[in-house]
Amino acid sequence: MTDSGAIIDTMNARRQLPIDPVLELVDADATEGDGVIATPTEPVPTFEAIYARRYRELVQFAFLLTGDRGAAEDIVQDAFVGLHRRWRSVSDPLPYLRRSVANGAATLHRRRGRDRDRPAPPVSPSELGAAELSDAISALPHRQRAAIVLRFHLDLADRDSAEILGVAPGTVPSLIHRALCDLRKVIQP
């Protein structure tokens, strides 16, 4: 029987994980996840570090999808709980977390039985402010709203948005086009 310490050392060497890491986070504005796929010069961030760095961003993302701060915080907490359960098998946590948040927001909308086809109340373009625009966006169907948030707030490419939404990459431009058409009807009656 082999020594378990030698097996762990071999696994750590294959995964390029430091045995006794001094963990530092990569640039907070990095777009390629959280650097979980380690290199010899860049140690893997801990779960706690990713939570501290990404929590606010994900709550804002969830809030834009749901319009409810409390629900957004719950959705993000659930996403982090799911990540914690699968920590060893998730190679890049940011896409996993974004997908979990998008799915959690979709589940919330299904549970609420929200009428997705409800038109936004007409508003005069001269009266349109940030709150009215937010109301118009929140009146969009969930997938259209999510596509708008992913494109214009998180500045993600269609490929990344499609992965988060669980749709084909060609569907994202279509969702955005339909959402913008619906928003134009509210903004320019």
Could you report the per-residue pLDDT of 26-46, keeping only the tens digit for each?
333 444 445 455 555 566 788
Same domain (yes/no): 80, 109: yes
Residue range 79-93, pLDDT digits in tens: 999 999 999 998 889
Assess whether pLDDT exceeds 50 at residue 171.
yes
Same domain (yes/no): 95, 130: no
Same domain (yes/no): 105, 138: no
Reported as a pLDDT band with limits 50, 70 and 90, residue 160 is very high
Same domain (yes/no): 143, 108: no
Q: How many domains does the chain have?
A: 2
Whether residue 14 is contained in a domain is answered as no
| Domain span at 144 | 124-189
DSSP secondary structure letters along 40-69:
TTBPPPPHHHHHHHHHHHHHHHHHHHHS-H
Type and span of the H or E element at 100: helix 93-112
Type and span of the H or E element at 108: helix 93-112
Q: List CB contacts of 158: < 8 A, sequence separation 6 or more.
A: 151, 169, 172, 173
Please give the C-alpha separations between residue 162 and each of 48, 61, 108, in angstroms, as whole numbers.
28, 16, 20
Please give the C-alpha separations between residue 137 and each of 33, 40, 43, 72, 145, in angstroms, as whole numbers.
27, 45, 40, 16, 6
Q: In whole angstroms, give the CA distance from residue 39 to residue 136.
A: 45
Of 82, 115, 148, the residue at which a domain comes to its end is 115
What share of the chain in percent tops pLDDT 90?
43
Whether residue 71 is contained in a domain is answered as yes
Of 55, 82, 115, the residue at which a domain comes to its end is 115
Same domain (yes/no): 99, 137: no
pLDDT on residue 40: 53
Same domain (yes/no): 145, 75: no
Q: In whole angstroms, give the CA distance from residue 53 to residue 48.
A: 9
3-state secondary structure of 154: coil
- Tokens representing 118? 């409800």
Whether residue 23 is contained in a domain is answered as no
The single-letter DSSP state of residue 26 is: -
CA-nearest of 178, 186, 183, 179 to 122 is: 186
3-state secondary structure of 87: coil
Same domain (yes/no): 103, 167: no
Q: In whole angstroms, give the CA distance from residue 124 to residue 185.
A: 11
Residue range 69-80, pLDDT digits in tens: 999 999 999 999
